[in-house]
Structure formats: structure tokens, C-alpha cells
Amino acid sequence: MLLKGNRFFSTGDLVAFAILAVLIFVILPVGLDTFRLNLFGKYLTYAFVAIGLVLCWGAGGILSLGQGVFFGLGGYCMAMFLKLEASSPEATKIQSTPGIPDFMDWNQITQIPLWWEPFHSLTFSLFAVILIPVAFAFIIGVAMFRRRVGGVYFAIITQAIAAILTILIIGQQGYTGGVNGITDLRTLKGWDIRTDDAKVLLYFVNGGLLFVCLFIAQLIRKSKLGRILIAMRDQEDRVRFSGYDVANFKIFVFCAGAAFAAVGGAMFTLQVGFMSPSFVGIVPSIEMVIFCAVGGRLSIIGAVYGALLVNLAKTTFSELFPELWLLGLGAVFIAVVLAFPNGLAGLYKDHVEPRLLVIFKRKAGDDSSTEDFDAIKTAAE
Amino acid sequence: MFAEYSMGELGAIFAMQGFAGLILFSVFVLMALGLAIIFGQMGVINMAHGEFMILGAYVTYLTSNLFATYIPSLFSIYFFLAMILAFFVTAALGMLVEWSMIRHLYKRPLDTLLATWGLSLILQQVYRSVFGAREVGVTIPEWMMGSLPLTDMIEIPINGIFVMVLAVGISTAVYIMMFRSSWGKQVRAVTQNRVMAGAVGINTERTDRLTFGIGCGVAGVAGSAFTMIGSTGPTAGQLYIVDTFLVVVFGGAASLLGTIASAFSISQAQSIMEFFLSGSMAKVLTLLTVVGILMLRPQGLFALKLRK
């Protein structure tokens, strides 16, 4: 059989990856115009965050309500580079100080601050997109997990950090663009990111990166590391007594989640063309958790569908029935927690997969080859 | 930064800012008390706490309109009735929420957080549909307006004093309920060991429901008091929820005294810094300090000695 399972990917996983790949790389680009495709690209950037949350929350039991911080840091690093490129002295000669970003000029700043300088370099910026959020996550992780802060305390403190960063960005508008964020981004090394061609290309780059993240997440989950994470989620003390340093595993998975979110943020900036504090704060951070919860907190593929569906619903309903949208979103939160704790992936696993198995079983019986059936059965387990 | 002020002026500034800090402190205490009961004692994270508070504020708003229209002669005392109404309405809603939602989630605290966030979104939208998106303010009775001049430079607004008195009164009431009544003993027993508490004959379900209800009721009273110093909008609750959680966590979740102490230090730090820095930087610095201290001392300022 073509899709044969191995240690890291069971047959079921491979099928799920293949279906998602077909959806992202074939069905959506063929079926949608550039505007809609760009919109879906934007939704997919949230899927990065959701995958990170599946690792942290679903596997590791660490609920971070501050993923918007990492999404935002990644996005801002990208936006700072693009903004510096868009503010060349020729393009900004109507300003009182040409050559600096427009919002700095509006705030009577006459010189680019020192910490903006390195973002003239694309290489530095690309490294910064990953490294700054990861370093930040590392500091938070070391400070919290080494002192055995977990569960709800961790959630509240990460939420507070999201609040702090938002207030800081809005308050320091001369350096960060304030509440409007960094807008009017034009080119990446001379390549105009606002054209339709660029948008299609960026969509595919985004999809490719998403799959890279999915593969990394799958490897983490299926490796020994992933098993320790799950053990830690269910019985932290026993893992500790078995001689593992629980804090290190938590720090690692939190940093991995931050890195995924940061990549999503950078791709968001590139595709949408701006970055603002409204993607950093408490509300967006909690919405990111709901993408993950709707898709299924245990399933990385489910998280991608969750991000797509919730965002699609948000765009559709908030345009058609702005009054009902919040009610609907609130109801989804409650329903997902009370009735479907494992989200869409859980529903699939409980109701759809057993029926599929029955069908496959019948076929397998016709071919009198029991090997495939065994593979599917192990996949189901 | 101090050079341009004389000694007397500086004293007056500190006194005035200190007093503004005391009002903020009272608001924090009122908000945090309800949360200290629900989060500190029951371990339930109620992200809709702010919305319960706003419900209390809207109840006060409705009562004041009712009095102004039908019995204007008693308008000067409407607030006391409004406060009692606010308590019972929010407590009733709280018990309903506990019965329909929270009781299924006691073993999954992180999920409670998400579910109550959903509840807060729903409540916000309901307020917006019923009361409109604009902020509403209540008319303060005559005797609460104006201010008391202490010296010729220091003046104290009367409504501020009133909120402070209220904060002291409600803290005392909560203290007596939690630590001096048999109900409080039951609550603490259930939190510490649910199974054993049930075994010695405490109706744990009823205790949970009452605790949650009373926690929400206190939030309602806080909202009611809040109308005396500010206006109320559908999303006002969300602005305070993180601050309030930090106050409770910073103080040490299970300690009432800790909650009050942390509310005091956070509010004073913020309001004194606000005078010298911009409001947003003052807030950033205060929150950062709190988060920093929590990283060093995760159990909070006043923690019960627990073996973990």
C-alpha cells in the first residue's frame, strides 16, 4: 500500500496529512480568487499558533493565554524590517525628517532608535522573528516552571504578560506605531508584496511552512519526548519521581509553541501587510486558544481545521449578523468545553472513524489481505 | 523631577495621589473580594467576574432610574436598595451559572477558564443589546457630591470616602462569613478535602453553589459601588479582570488579608507613579513588578503553609 505507517506516522496520520495537503495546495488555490485565497492564508497563520497550543496545552497540559505575545513579536520583527525598507529617504521625502518610518515622524522623533537599526538587515530580521519570541518564552518558562508554577497560575500570568505588552506597544507610539500598529508595508527586498502574484506565492510559502511545523509537531508528539509530555500532563509527580526534570520539558514545549506562533505572526504581517496590537492582547490570545479547542486540543491536524473554521465563521457571521457573532462565539466556548472537550478531532475519532473502519474492514475482507486492516486498526488505537 | 515643586506642594501631591490610590484600592478590594472567594477558596477561575460586576452596575442604574421616575422623594437613599438588589440579582445569576456550567468542571480548572470566558462574551453582547453600546452613568444623590476640604490644598471627594467605607464594610462582612461562621467553615472544609467534607455530612454541592453565588453577589455590590465613581459600559468588566486576578494571585490565593494587602500596594504604586509617568507606563511598570515578584515568589505575598 502507498501510505504505509511507520514509527512517526501511522497510516491514519499519513492520510490526514495528505488530505490537508490536497486541501491547502490544490483545492483552495484552484477554487478561490486571489482575495479569498489571501484571506485563507491569513486564517492559516493562526493555525501555526493552534499547532503550538496543541503541543503546549493538549500534550503538555500548559495552557498559555499569551500566545498572542509570540505571534505579535514575530509579526512585529517582520513588520519592522518591511517598514524600514518602505521608509527610504526617497519614499518619505515629504516628512520633516525623511528616511524614518512615518509614525516616528508624526511623533516628533528625528532619528531611528538604536534597537530598530539591526532590522535594516533581512537576515537579522528573519532570525529575530524566531529567536526573540523564543528567548522571551525561554525567560518566562525558566522563571515559571523552575519554580513549579503551573496550571491556572501560569495561564493568568501569561495573560497578564499579554496585557502588559499591549499597553506598552500602545503607550510607546513613537517607537511602535501605537494603536494603529506598523502599517503601509510595501516591499521585501524590492519585491512588491501587495501584488496578486506575490499574494499567491506568499500563500504557498505559508502553506509550506505550515507543513514544516506540522511535521515537527508530529515528530515531537510521537518521539519519546512527546510521551514524557503526556505522562507529565497526567501525573506530573510520578514523572518527576522517575528522575525526569519536568521543568526542562515544559520549557522546551513552551518555546516550541512560541516559535510556531512567531512564524505565524511573521507570515501574517507579510500576507496582510500590517501588524497592530490588536493581534497581541488578551482577547486575540484567548481566541487563539479557541481555534485549538474547536479543532481538538489533542490533534495537530484538527487545530488547522479549527483555525480555518472559526475564522471563516467569524468573517462570515460578523459581517452578516454582528450582534449574534459574540453570542455564537461565547456559545462555542461553552459547548466545546462542556460537550466536546476534544473538539472536531474528537468527534471524528468517536463517530466517523469507527464507521470508516467498518467499510475498510469489508473491503479488506474481500481482498483477503489482513495486513491493511491491522494497520488501520493500530492507527485507530 | 521634584525640583519644580515646593515642599508643601509635594506633600499635597503625595496626599492627593495617595488618596486617589486609596479609592483605586477600594475598587480593587471590592472586585478582588468576590474573586478571592471564588478563586481563592473554590479554585474556580471565573473570567466572567467582570461581567457580574457590570451586572451589579446596571442593576444600580435601573434602580436609580426607577426611583427618579416613580419615587423621587426617596432618591437620596436609592443607593442602599440598589446595592442589596445588585447583590441578590448577581448572586442568583451566579448560582444559575454554577448549576448549569461550573459544577461539571470542578476537576478541569483550565476548562472553567475557557467556559467562563465564553459566558463573559455572551453577557457582554446581552448588555450591549439591552442597554446599548454607550456607557451609562447614574445620577449620584445630592449628599454624595462635592468634596471635603482638609487643608487649602488637599480636597477629598465624598463619593470616594463612601466607596472606601463600603470596601471596609464588605471586607469585614466577608471576613466574618469566611472565618467566623459555620458556613465559612464548611466552605473551607469542602475546598480542603471534598470527600471528607461530604463524609462528615456537609452538603458539598449546596456549599459550592452558595459560595459561588455569594462570590458573584459581592462582585455585584462592587459594580454597584463602581457606579459612584465612574460610568458603566458593556465591556468595562473586561478592562479590570486581569488586574483583579493579579491582585488575588499576588496576595496569595487563599488569603483574605493577602488580597487586601496586595490591592493596597498595587493601587498605591500605580496611582503615585501615574503622576510622574504617563498612565500607560505607570500601569506597565506596576504590572511588570507584580509579575516579576510572582516569578520569584509564585505562592504570593501571604501564602498558607502547604506541603506540596
Domain boundaries, chain B: 20-133+158-235
Any long-range contacts for A244-251 (C-beta under 8 Å, 24+ apart)? Answer: A246/A145, A247/A142, A247/A145, A247/A146, A247/A148, A249/A60, A249/A225, A250/A60, A250/A62, A250/A141, A250/A145, A250/A150, A251/A138, A251/A141, A251/A142, A251/A145
A127 interface with B at CB cutoff 8 Å:
no
Chain B nearest-CA residue for A334: B115
In a domain, A209, yes or no: yes
Decide: residue A275, CB within 10 A, 0-12 exposed, 13-18 middle, 19+ buried: buried
Closest CA to A55 of A260, A201, A236, A239: A260
Neighbours of A251 (CB within 10 A): 22
Per-residue pLDDT for A373 more than 50? no
Closest CA to A194 of A272, A267, A121: A272
Kindly report the average pLDDT of chain A as a whole number.
86
CA angle at A53 for the pair A323 and A262, rounded to the nearest 5°: 90
Contact A330 B245 (CB under 8 A): no
Contact A155 B284 (CB under 8 A): no
Segment A324-328 shows an average pLDDT of 84
CA angle at B41 for the pair A232 and B194, rounded to the nearest 5°: 70
**pLDDT for residue A49:** 95
Closest CA to A309 of A334, A291, A322: A291
Contact A333 B121 (CB under 8 A): yes
**pLDDT for residue B70:** 86
**pLDDT for residue B195:** 86
Q: First CA to last CA across chain B, in angstroms?
A: 47
Q: Which residue has better confidence, A366 or B19?
A: B19
**Residue among A57, A167, A326 minimizing CB distance to B124:** A326
Q: Is the Cα torsion angle A238, A239, A241, A247 positive or negative in sign?
A: negative
Return residues 49-78 of A near B (CB < 8 Å). Answer: 57, 63, 65
Segment A147-157 shows an average pLDDT of 82
Helix residue ranges per DSSP H, chain A: 11-22, 28-31, 34-53, 67-86, 102-106, 122-145, 151-171, 173-176, 196-222, 224-234, 236-241, 246-272, 282-295, 300-320, 322-338, 343-347, 353-367, 370-380
Q: Alpha carbon of B221 to those of A101, B32, B256: distances in Å?
A: 48, 12, 18
**Residue among A283, A323, A336 minimizing CB distance to B129:** A323
**pLDDT for residue A369:** 44
**pLDDT for residue A376:** 47
Contact B291 A157 (CB under 8 A): yes
What is the mean pLDDT, run by run of 10 residues, along chain B of 308 residues? 67 75 82 84 85 92 88 81 92 94 84 89 90 81 72 74 86 87 86 86 89 91 84 81 84 78 85 77 86 78 58
**pLDDT for residue B106:** 82
Per-residue pLDDT for A372 more than 50? no
DSSP state letters, B179-226: HHSHHHHHHHHHHH-HHHHHHTT--HHHHHHHHHHHHHHHHHHHHHHH
Is the distance from CB of B42 to CB of B208 less than 8 angstroms? yes
CA angle at A234 for the pair B116 and A353, rounded to the nearest 5°: 80
Neighbours of A339 (CB within 10 A): 9
Band of residue A81 on the pLDDT scale cut at 50, 70, 90: very high
Report the alpha-carbon distance of residue A235 to residue A212 in Å, rounded. 31
Report the alpha-carbon distance of residue B49 to residue B30 in Å, rounded. 12
pLDDT in tens, A241-258: 999 999 999 999 999 999
Residues of A in contact with B110 (CB under 8 A): 57, 63, 151-152, 155
A18 interface with B at CB cutoff 8 Å:
no
A351 interface with B at CB cutoff 8 Å:
no
Segment A308-323 shows an average pLDDT of 85
Report the alpha-carbon distance of residue B39 to residue A151 in Å, rounded. 13
pLDDT in tens, A106-117: 888 888 888 888
A202 interface with B at CB cutoff 8 Å:
no
Band of residue A371 on the pLDDT scale cut at 50, 70, 90: very low
Q: Which of B123, B283, B295, B307 to mutate to test the interface with A (most CBs of A within 10 A)?
A: B295
**pLDDT for residue A365:** 55
Q: What percent of chain A has pLDDT over 70?
A: 94
Is the distance from CB of A379 to CB of A10 less than 8 angstroms? yes
Whether the complex's predicted ipTM is more than 0.90 is answered with: no
Q: How far is B246 from chain A (nearest CA, A)?
A: 8
What is the residue range of A174's domain? 39-303
Residues in chain B: 308
User: Which amino acid does the sequence have at A76?
Assistant: Y
**Residue among A157, A326, A333 minimizing CB distance to B114:** A333
**pLDDT for residue B308:** 43
Q: Which of A69, A148, A153, A333 to mutate to test the interface with B (most CBs of B within 10 A)?
A: A333
Residues of B in contact with A327 (CB under 8 A): 121-122, 125-126
Q: Which residue has better confidence, A360 or B190?
A: B190
In a domain, A320, yes or no: no
Report the alpha-carbon distance of residue A255 to residue A133 in Å, rounded. 8
**pLDDT for residue A270:** 92
Report the alpha-carbon distance of residue B172 to residue B108 in Å, rounded. 32
Segment A140-154 shows an average pLDDT of 85
Is the distance from CB of B270 to CB of B169 less than 8 angstroms? no
Segment A284-293 shows an average pLDDT of 90
A139 interface with B at CB cutoff 8 Å:
no
CA angle at A118 for the pair A115 and A121, rounded to the nearest 5°: 155
CA angle at A250 for the pair A247 and A253, rounded to the nearest 5°: 150
Distance between alpha carbon A255 and the CA centroid of its chain, in Å?
Answer: 13
Closest CA to B208 of B106, B86, B88: B106
Per-residue pLDDT for A83 more than 60? yes
Number of domains in chain A: 1
Q: Which of A139, A146, A164 to mutate to test the interface with B (most CBs of B within 10 A)?
A: A164
Q: How far is B43 from chain A (nearest CA, A)?
A: 9
Q: Tell the residue number behind the cell numbers 445569576, with chain if given.
A: B93
Burial string for A13-35 (b: 16+ CB within 10 Å, else e) reads: bbbbbeebeebbeeebeeeeeee
Chain B positions contacting chain A at CB under 8 Å are 43, 45, 101, 104-105, 108-115, 117-122, 124-126, 128-129, 238, 242, 245-246, 249, 278, 280-281, 283-284, 287-288, 290-291, 294-296, 298, 308
Q: Would you call A191 helix, strand, or coil by DSSP?
A: strand
Band of residue A190 on the pLDDT scale cut at 50, 70, 90: confident
